Amino acid sequence: MTSELGGATDLRGLELTVEKLVPGGEGFLRLPDGQALFVRGGAPGDRIRLGAVEKQRGTLHTSDYELLSPSPERVVPECPVAHACGGCDLMHISRPAELAQKASMLKEALERVAGVAAAPEAFGAGAASSGYRSRVRFHIGRHGKLGFFARGTHQLVEVPGCAVADPRINQALASIRRLARRFPDALTGFTDVELRATETDVIARFVPRDGIKPIAADPFLRALAKELRVAATEREAQALSERRSITADVFVDIPADAFSQINTAVNRELIAAVVAGAAARGLKSFCDLFAGVGNFALPLARSGLSGVMVERTPSAVQAAQRAATAQSIGKLKARTADASRALTDLVREGQRFDLVVLDPPREGAPDVVAGIPGLSPRAVAYVACDPVTLSRDLKPLLAAGLQVSSVQAFDMFPRTHHFETLVWLEAAGASSSK
């Protein structure tokens, strides 16, 4: 028997077993009345006794429960603040279980949302579970404390370092703490510091609390600049580009305001899969609709395809163009525009491409995918970091006659519920030597 009590549902004392993980990283189980309950920090196979249950936007959630019998897949997190920090939400389960649950999430989302029955290919083997992040943003709290917000709150959890960060980032964090003790008021004028581990050094980008670099921080910043590259204003940040070899033979200088993947090794696997897929299908031209700094466009053009990259951030487009010129990568044009607007223009101009590549933000690209058939592609390579929005966006492509030919998963963000998916779609009757 359940009762509604001020937004909370009284299910205290009920003993249940977590069935699986779902997108978002929570455990999932069914109550006796059939309602779904999402269990924060749950692991498949956990036997729990419920405490308080909250209704949030029409669904039931809990983080209040007694663990009666832990799942055999539970492990001791390698991070001492894993349960408090809002970052690595799957650090409490084994790596094999993590990968299996991610594959299951993807398969279920494709079937339930898109009606696609496709078994995802195995995750790439190169994904290290620690030390992989090349970029980490730390919040700065009262008294110069550095850490992350607890999940769903603005409560700062101070951290000694980050288990999934490049070790050089943790060394830089230690340097900041050491110098902050010498200059006690130095950090009070900043809200955050983003640390980037480049191929040669570490960049520290401080974010001023009121938008203006505090004068009191100057001695601290000068001392830190002897160990790291430091920026404390937008102008300084723009001057500190990050050179990244996105493949063995393609590099790009990434500006501060441009997006880049945080897992270099797995990103290379993903790029290789896109380039190999284009070659296997005999594709000769491409349009990259969310190109960023040319993560896919530059390697595709290097491999011999001619193409157009579309990106709305001017500095990212300029970085890709400079990289193409410096490395004699021809047959690549660029448009600085929103993807939806650029797509409309390309269709109106009668442009046609063998391949359309898109790697949109986490919310997907519902306003873009419906227009892609207007480019008459033989194939579409859709790269996504959310299996649900991906599955939603596949529906208009499928309705236009494209067919899913391959689904590959890449563990870009180990120890979290996030991962990347590459779906290949092909026009009916298109030949493939795959």
SS (H, E, C) the chain: CCCEECCEECCCCCEEECCEECCCCCEEEECCCCCEEEECCCCCCCEEEECCEEEECCEEEECCEEEEECCCCECCCCCCCCCCCCCCCCCCECHHHHHHHHHHHHHHHHHHHHCCCCCCECCCCCCCCCCCECEEEEEECHHHCEEEECCCCCCEEECCCCCCECHHHHHHHHHHHHHHHHCCCCCCCEEEEEEEECCCCEEEEEEECCCCCCHHHHHHHHHHCCCCEEECCHHHHHCCCEEEEEECCEEEEECCCCCCCCCHHHHHHHHHHHHHHHHHCCCCEEEECCCCCCCCHHHHHHCCCEEEEEECCHHHHHHHHHHHHHCCCCCEEEEECCHHHHHHHHHHCCCCCCEEEECCCCCCCHHHHCCHHHHCCCEEEEEECCHHHHHHHHHHHHHCCEEEEEEEEECCCCCCCCCEEEEEEEECCCCCCC
Q: 88 catalytic, yes or no?
A: no
Q: Where are the alpha helices (DSSP H) in 183-294?
A: 218-224, 234-238, 264-280
* Cβ–Cβ < 8 Å for 359, 334: no
What is the C-alpha to C-alpha distance for residues 425 and 434, in angstroms, rounded to an integer?
13
Cβ atoms of 88 and 82 closer than 8 Å: yes
> Which amino acid is it at 288?
D
Cα→Cα distances 151→20, 61, 386, Å: 20, 14, 18
Q: Using CB atoms within 10 Å of the CB of residue 363, give its burial: 0 to 12 exposed, 13 to 18 middle, 19+ buried.
A: exposed
Catalytic site residue from 79, 85, 88, 385: 385
| Catalytic residue list | 385
